[in-house]
């Protein structure tokens, strides 16, 4: 196998998928996985086989790709840009049960006007801001009901994402943000219903909150994405162990700087991505945790810095004979900070199967 290469431990992946599905089942909600992490047909097939109902996507290209593979129920969970409405219409006309989202009157008006012009009633959800992290309408904002009235029969529900959960790392804090996510989205739905309008779906989710929620009363579906692979950011948050990370990058030792204690690899930031998501967390993993070729972490050994095609592997404290311990041509594996960003660097994965075999799984790229 040439390097750098993206590896998926399929056994760990299947366990992660089953864990989240069982979590959704226990909480009494449907699971609609976000496929932006992996963008891979084989991973989606495993999620659907485990019991997922529909998928969430971050691009219309993903929606087209997975619809062509037979998945009909698709939520496009990015605020709808008016110029993309013809692409969304084409999907709907082909039979895709595509749902759009918006958080503004202008966005809602564009969807309604375009639909009326083309004889189509889009399914639309209103995005709710539950934590001030990114986008959405506050549940108590009068704008919420204005958007709902404008959408009329196109309105199918509300959804939210507690992105602030990524900055937490204790069970109590994660349970609190999960409850905040649930309560504020349910509050928005109840305000719409109290105003005499339909709001059937209440959709919440992030991997940390999905694995921390104590109850999801009033919620109809759960969305989460990175759980299929997990990563070092999720490990620092506290929702997974290192040995549950299913994605790694296979790399080769291509040189040394022994006086500096450096091992040079072919896993630069073009392989790992520029993501330094652990830098602000309780443990900084540099550009990734280094493992042996079989995937066992080597304590204290990190990908400490990266150029475009060169990675610098270095022990955090202590002197070692790097040439003797990590000879030229040796293979290592690196666990990534952010599985979504690292996966995006590759056109396919090498899936390591339980029987020892390896399969090539293509990965969708672009917009």
Confidence tier at 43 by pLDDT (50, 70, 90): very high
- To the nearest whole percent, how much of the chain has pLDDT over 70? 100
Residue 238 has pLDDT above 80, yes or no: yes
Q: Is 34 exposed, middle or buried (0-12, 13-18, 19+ CB in 10 A)?
A: buried
The total of structural domains in the chain comes to 2
Q: How many CB atoms are closer than 10 A to CB 327? A: 11
Helix (H) or strand (E) holding 212: none
Confidence tier at 319 by pLDDT (50, 70, 90): confident
- To the nearest whole percent, how much of the chain has pLDDT over 90? 99
Same domain (yes/no): 255, 219: no
Same domain (yes/no): 222, 329: no
Nearest residue to 262 via CA among 194, 356, 326: 326
In a domain, 7, yes or no: no
Residues 6+ apart with CB under 8 A from 76: 57, 58, 59, 60, 63, 88, 98, 99, 100, 101
Residue 318 has pLDDT above 80, yes or no: no
Per the structure, the complete domain to which residue 77 belongs is given by 12-228
pLDDT tens profile 212-222? 999 999 999 99
pLDDT tens profile 330-356? 999 999 999 999 999 999 999 999 999
Same domain (yes/no): 46, 87: yes
- Give yes or no for a contact between 32 and 53, defined as CB atoms under 8 angstroms apart: yes
pLDDT tens profile 50-94? 999 999 999 999 999 999 999 999 999 999 999 999 999 999 999
CATH number at residue 42: 3.20.20.10
């Amino acid at each position: 196998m040439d390097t750098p290469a993206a590896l998926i431990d399929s056994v760990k992946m299947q366990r992660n998928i089953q864990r989240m599905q069982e979590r959704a089942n226990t909480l009494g909600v449907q699971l609609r996985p976000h496929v932006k992490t992996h963008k891979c047909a084989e991973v989606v097939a495993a999620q659907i086989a485990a019991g997922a109902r529909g998928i969430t996507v971050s691009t219309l290209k993903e929606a087209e790709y997975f619809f062509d593979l037979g998945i009909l129920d698709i939520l496009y969970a990015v605020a709808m840009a008016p110029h993309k409405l013809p692409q969304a219409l084409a999907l709907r006309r082909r039979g895709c049960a595509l749902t759009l989202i918006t958080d503004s009157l202008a966005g809602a008006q564009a969807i309604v006007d375009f639909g009326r012009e083309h004889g189509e009633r889009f399914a639309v959800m209103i995005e709710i801001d539950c934590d001030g992290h990114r986008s959405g309408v506050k549940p108590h904002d009068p704008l919420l009901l204005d958007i709902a009235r404008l959408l009329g029969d196109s309105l199918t529900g509300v959804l939210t994402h507690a992105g602030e959960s990524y900055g937490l790392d204790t069970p109590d804090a994660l349970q609190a943000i999960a409850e905040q996510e649930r309560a504020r989205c349910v509050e928005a739905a109840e305000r719409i219903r109290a105003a005499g309008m339909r709001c059937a779906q209440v959709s919440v989710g992030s991997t940390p909150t999905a694995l921390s929620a104590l109850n999801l009363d009033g919620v109809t579906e759960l969305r989460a994405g990175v759980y299929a692979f997990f990563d070092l950011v999720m490990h620092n948050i506290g929702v997974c162990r290192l040995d549950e990370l299913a994605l790694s990058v296979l790399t080769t030792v291509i040189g040394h700087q022994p006086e500096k204690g450096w091992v040079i690899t072919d896993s630069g930031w073009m392989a790992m991505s520029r993501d330094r998501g652990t830098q602000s967390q309780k443990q900084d993993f540099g550009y990734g945790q280094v493992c042996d070729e079989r995937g066992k972490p080597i304590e204290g050994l990190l990908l400490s810095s990266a150029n475009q095609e060169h990675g610098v592997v270095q022990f955090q404290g202590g002197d070692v004979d790097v040439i003797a311990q990590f000879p030229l041509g040796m293979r290592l594996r690196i666990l990534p900070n952010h599985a979504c960003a690292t996966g995006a660097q590759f056109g396919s994965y090498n899936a390591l199967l339980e029987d020892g075999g390896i399969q090539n799984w293509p990965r969708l790229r672009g917009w």
